[in-house]
Amino acid sequence: MRKRLWPEQDATDELRLLEEWLTFLRITAVNKVAGLDRSKAVATPWPTSPRMSVLGVIQHLTAVERHWISIVAGGLDVPTLYWDDPDPDTDFDIAPDATPASVVAAYEAEWERSRAAITGMSAADRTKLRFRGQDRTVRWIMTHLVQETARHVGHLDVLREFADGDRGE
């Protein structure tokens, strides 16, 4: 389990606060994988969401972070991850050789790429790439990632409870 630090309560730097909240949520997400074997980490217990597994959610978060922070905000020339446009849920599909350790390592590596992509930018800066005809601020991108990650941490809470009964943050 990785140690989480609550964001600075008296933060005056908006982008730093958003990065700290995102980091808090990222660590919460990877802690949901800790101790699971592959079979439990790839289990899909919801009949209405047959692709949603613990590893699928982590892989989705990796793909979303790559897209929004590295590509849209930072303008890096890197490929998207796991997505096939005709089927937007392919980022939840787990490769046969993927393990909890490899999926978490890919997610953690993306955190470093994200930090590098927006280094030197401010919350008010416009993104380097327009997405669907719109440009956005780094503030919007980071707030969206906090929202997206928090939503999926909730999914991970339930998936982990299904997997082995473990509950809590």
Enter the pTM of the model: 0.93
Domain assignment present for residue 65? The answer is yes
Domain assignment present for residue 114? The answer is yes
Q: Which residues contact 133 (CB under 8 A, 6 or more apart)?
A: none
* CA distance linking residue 99 with residue 41, whole number of Å: 8
Give how many domains the chain has, as a whole number.
Answer: 1
Report yes or no: 31 and 137 within 8 Å, Cβ to Cβ: no
Report yes or no: 47 and 55 within 8 Å, Cβ to Cβ: no
Domain holding 90, by residue range, is 14-164
Please state, as a whole number, how many other Cβ atoms lie within 10 Å of the Cβ of residue 117. Answer: 23
Write out residues in the chain with pLDDT < 70, as ranges.
84-85, 129
Q: Can you give the pLDDT at residue 29?
A: 98
* CA distance linking residue 145 with residue 26, whole number of Å: 10
Domain assignment present for residue 85? The answer is yes
Domain assignment present for residue 2? The answer is no
Give the domain CATH number at 137: 1.20.120.450
- Name the token pair of 87: 């089927």
Domain assignment present for residue 62? The answer is yes
Q: Can you give the pLDDT at residue 56?
A: 96
Domain assignment present for residue 4? The answer is no
